């Protein structure tokens, strides 16, 4: 446990690693906020996936929409674990993983906003 705390304290000194992770967590929190704020709880089934060619291609119960922010939070945690494991030897790869986490959050945010705008506004 002390080893993880030591590694985390060393990561705080590397802004090119911790700043994208902080923005990733902020975007993930924003995704949760948008879903809770804009999701109509009166419907039983909602579109969960929108395809440009086929329109809606995945419909499910409204609670299933929370799979997206939960999966993206798990991605942040997994990326942080990978960064902690490799940053001492591969600082460039650790930085890349940190930015990939941010990129994934932006993709999930964009997809959920498209679904919410297209079908609930």
Q: What is the pLDDT of residues 33-55, one digit of tens each?
A: 988 887 777 777 777 777 777 77
Q: Say if residue 116's pLDDT is above 90.
A: no
DSSP code of 41? T
Note the pLDDT of residue 17.
84
Structural domain boundaries in the chain: 17-37+44-120
Least confident residue range of 2-11, 45-54, 64-73, 106-115: 2-11
73: its two tokens: 């939070």
Output phi, psi for 56, to 5 deg.
-80, 130
Q: Cα separation of 75 and 73, whole Å?
A: 5
Average pLDDT, the chain: 83
Higher pLDDT, 65 or 97: 97
- How would you label 72-105 residue by residue, b for 16+ Cβ within 10 Å and e otherwise? bbebbeebbebbbeebeeeeeebbebbbebbebb
- Work out the average pLDDT over 2-11: 72
Note the pLDDT of residue 121.
62
Note the pLDDT of residue 120.
67
Note the pLDDT of residue 102.
93
- Angle of helix 15-38 versus helix 91-120 axis, rounded to 10: 20
Share of the chain above pLDDT 90, in %: 31
Cα dist from 74 to 23, 24, 53, 61, 95, whole Å? 15, 11, 29, 21, 18
- Work out the average pLDDT over 14-43: 86
């Amino acid at each position: 446990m002390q080893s993880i705390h030591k590694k985390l304290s060393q990561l705080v000194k590397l802004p090119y690693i911790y700043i994208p992770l902080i923005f990733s967590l902020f975007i993930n929190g924003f995704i949760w906020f948008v879903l809770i704020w804009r999701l109509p709880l009166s419907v039983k089934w909602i579109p969960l996936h929108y395809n440009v060619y086929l329109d809606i291609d995945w419909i499910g119960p409204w609670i299933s929409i929370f799979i997206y922010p939960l999966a993206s939070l798990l991605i942040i945690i997994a990326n942080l674990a990978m960064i902690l494991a490799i940053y001492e030897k591969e600082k460039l790869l650790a930085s890349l993983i940190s930015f990939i986490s941010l990129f994934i959050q932006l993709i999930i945010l964009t997809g959920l906003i498209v679904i919410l705008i297209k079908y609930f506004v």
